[in-house]
Structure 1
């Protein structure tokens, strides 16, 4: 009998730096209750647009003898360290706990807009940004999108060194990559290099299907939200994940810059992504039911699924004649459409199958 292969696990990488327990009586840090958590979180903007017309083949390609110091010195100034604090009530000790986290970000405008990952700042009660000059700023969240794992922060500053925004539309496998970030939450400005290993790797990260750039540049916890640059110093991606499979290295991933900046622009304009297609349901993968597959767990009242007549515990068998076996399969199909598109769905309800027409709504409603 052949051994069962376990699928690779891809994780997002915000560093959780530890817990500080604070008593409600005086607000003092209680040293006897503090300690390291020792875990990792599973885990047209105003920027300088790259106007170069050079094709990837014409770009500088690094070899072991290539000196990238000038390029690195230019682009690393746009990468910042991000530290977060998240307050959580702790009824056991009649107080609250403060979890400290860390990640990275990239300055995309001289007046203080910074792009990072949603999972880096999700749930944070306070966010601080530190530049390569050592200046620290308090940051506010302009908008954050869990689906794309993109967030935009704002600091009160002028004249910041914004990254030169490149494009991910004409990249080629084998191009030099430069990853810059804050690994382990304490090594800000760390630079690693590699190549583009793949351009459109479809993987599932913490239950969300994503299409990402793949690189063999070293990526570690704390790199999340940092920049992936090409050999000319243009930003081509936002680092967000790596494989956590034991013994596997050299598999890092980044959100293509075209997608990341498109989301960031919407977050700046509207505070949220407003044009993403949505079924307005919560889905769950369940093998304990009569038939294994993906089931509807919740339905938003008056949303797309509700108006189509779907019910909780309906099993989705196929969409547009394409079989689906998991929530990730459904999400992938929905994301390939726009709000207003009609899906033909085959569902199973009470042991019988039926066809349902569903008009997709938008994420805004």
Structure 2
């Protein structure tokens, strides 16, 4: 009889817990749906790199101000922001605070969904948190974990991070700049890094993700918004390729009929050059009919154009002469 009563009580307790668990799961789902609207994908294009860098960002204002990590955009020639609605923009790097690993981007947009800002001072150990971002390029990935530590100090990549939020919610390359949110769908941190320990003396650690508390990030972001942009008048065009002066020997090696021009040595993915059909090994010999003999000549001609201009490149591919139309994009910094 006693055992039967104990069993009945356990069943009742389990049944009572089911609605609570269901409520928590629904709360988590709603938080993700709410927060995903204002987490953006970032792709960066750097000279000499054929594939873009990957990162994430958080929309702070409806008129196009976006917060991300400085290391996401550092050294990038062009920064592309992709919204959840499918629209893409070339962003300007408005300001960077490299010592705090934060950067403010600006896109020409309006009516954007804006992040709900939480209070990182109220974050507690053991609290459930959700990381949203683009780890390894998997857009809009959601991972769930707990807060495992507060006020953590970490030094890595030459940056001294202070007062970080530690979490075991999975953070990977590409997650940087994304949001760490609570179950109310409020951002409480900017995902910054996963720490695997010192370079020597330890086996590689796992599950140590860190986020910059949103209170300090927002305070800095307000200062960056009101300051002058890094390049207030920057409107330099971007073609998205690297090259070298074509020599008779190079022409012979690539089987190119032309003897002067610019030999393309790399093409950035998704760049105007890539979209226009330019390939490694092509030789550019003219832009809009103006002869191109050297790299400095090509850069000088391009400097006379503006982002959005359409140009026609005369290209030799082996023994074939091509004319390829290309629309120039804008450099971000």
> Which bin holds the TM-score, normalised by the shorter protein?
0.5 to 0.7
State the partner residue of 1:79: 39
Runs of 5+ unmatched residues, structure 1: 1-60, 89-96, 274-365
Deviation at 1:112, TM superposition (A): 0.8
Q: Could you tell me which residue of structure 2 aligns to residue 252 of structure 1?
A: 209
How far has the Cα of 1:105 moved from its partner? Answer: 0.3
Q: Does 2:192 correspond to 1:261?
A: no
Label 1:71 to 1:117 Cα distance change in 2 as closer, same or farther (>3 A): same
Aligned to 1:66: 25
Ranges in structure 2 where 5+ consecutive residues have no aligned partner: 1-19, 198-202, 231-333
Aligned position for 1:193? 144
Q: Give the aligned length.
A: 204
Q: String of CA shifts for 1:198-245, please: whole Å, max 9, x gaps.
A: 110111122322121100100111000000001101110000111234
Counterpart for residue 167 of structure 1: 119
Residue by residue, what CA displacement relative to the aligned partner does 1:68-89 show, whole Å, maximum 9, x if unpaired?
111110101110100011115x
Instruction: Name the SS of the counterpart of 1:147 in structure 2.
Output: helix
Q: Could you say what secondary structure the match of 2:89 adopts?
A: strand
Question: Aligned in 2, Cα 1:65/1:261: closer, same or farther, shift over 3 Å?
Answer: closer
TM-score, with length taken from structure 2: 0.58
Distance 1:195 1:149 in 2: 23
User: Does the CA contact (< 8 Å) of 1:181 and 1:226 recur in 2?
Assistant: yes
CA deviation after TM superposition for structure 1 residue 111, in Å: 1.1
What SS does the aligned partner of 1:87 have?
coil
Cross-structure match for 2:174 = 222
Residues 62 and 258 of structure 1, relative CA distance in 2, 3 Å threshold? farther
Within the alignment, does 1:208 sit opposite 2:159 as a pair? yes
Say which structure is richer in helix: 2
Check the 8 A contact 1:62/1:176 in 2, yes or no: no
The CA deviation string for residues 169-224 of structure 1, in whole angstroms up to 9 with x for no partner, is: 12111111110000102x11000011111110111122322121100100111000
Looking at structure 2, the residues matched to 272 and 145 of structure 1 have their Cα atoms a distance apart, in angstroms, of 12
RMSD (CA atoms): 2.1
Residues of 2 paired with 1:118 and 1:271: CA distance?
A: 17
